[in-house]
Structure 1
């Protein structure tokens, strides 16, 4: 698990930037780290809360790393907790800096006003999105059409809510080049409950896929994996292998895009 209270100010990891692609892997909620520049590296939550899904997407980073390796693709991954600032929200979204999440009050965010939000944007949110845009530009410049694949995870159950039935969800809005055929292939596996824009909707204006996929006309899909299925290395490896197999033919092989 990524360590909490990391002093490292780097807001993102860039994996294998010169990989041929054409997939470009993204992981918006790869880390639960709180940089030292944010509330002294402590949001006022317990270690147990910081390990929960409210602070990051458990398992998503491991799946992303394996996918990037198997697909010979670059990857951009966050290095800060979604509770510092959420890179999968539009810049004007009121939940950009969460004050309450799944029953937990975030003490260091309680009084975060516009100036603090702007500071966090400049130090974490904007550099993360700039890194994605730069990687897209570099791939386009060499004649490769990036196919964006964003990896997330979700909790099997929220506090006070019934268990979620899905094993995996595929989130999408207007672009139908990757999401609908992937949903069909996942359902054809026969052993999965597959959500189509569940447990969340992919139709959020200004979110990461809207910003870098829809607005740039690029093929894209957001995949949500139930986090108990990818809680350890074997689970992450199994799901990465399954996704590589199911994405075959939907994303061109390296050198063909």
Structure 2
């Protein structure tokens, strides 16, 4: 008997259902009378349906590493940049470098996450909500790295009608929505953030921005995966996508295992930085 064909939208619903599961096993959808996917205890999976097109197959391949229940934790990040590696102009203008498909991808990553982490600079510059609006999926909790409490509580990210938001601080917290991740006067490190969030039960941690925050997690070895979306645009100057310490030999460069996908007019480079 021919395998059931699965559409792009149904594949996304299958991924969301897989995300909600807590143990490996069969995954199905209400419209299906048989399992469409089986997740295995070794972190692999078997698809029992035929993707309707290559884009659907790529969607499943790209997002299963985030939602597989056998993977105890995953820390991931995304950067959207121009061909010349810029995320914004010198004045901070960045809306939008990536196209519609790239923006949809960002919201899919949010839907995969238990919590989204951003730096205070991103909140100050962009006033983001960090909710899921362009695709189906749950809103993640939000966390702002703000050791000195300099972000105004009136910023959109602190509207908790959709999901809770935590301010990551150094020193004793002043409220239930502050989370101490370092002693007073001590720098907040990526490792301390990951440890603190995992201790609160967050398994899927999405480091959304900005460039300094993503770069610090990459340099600290705290990222499992990095999604780099490149738009066919040359800015020529501005804020670099990644800012890492200088190296003088190419054998010191990072060369992660990478898959490439097409996202509308953009290209996605899906980098595995640590084996699951």
Smaller-chain TM-score bracket: under 0.3
Q: Which has the higher contact order (CA 8 A, sep 6+)?
A: 1
TM-score, normalized by length of structure 2?
0.25
Greater share of strand = 2
Larger Rg: 2
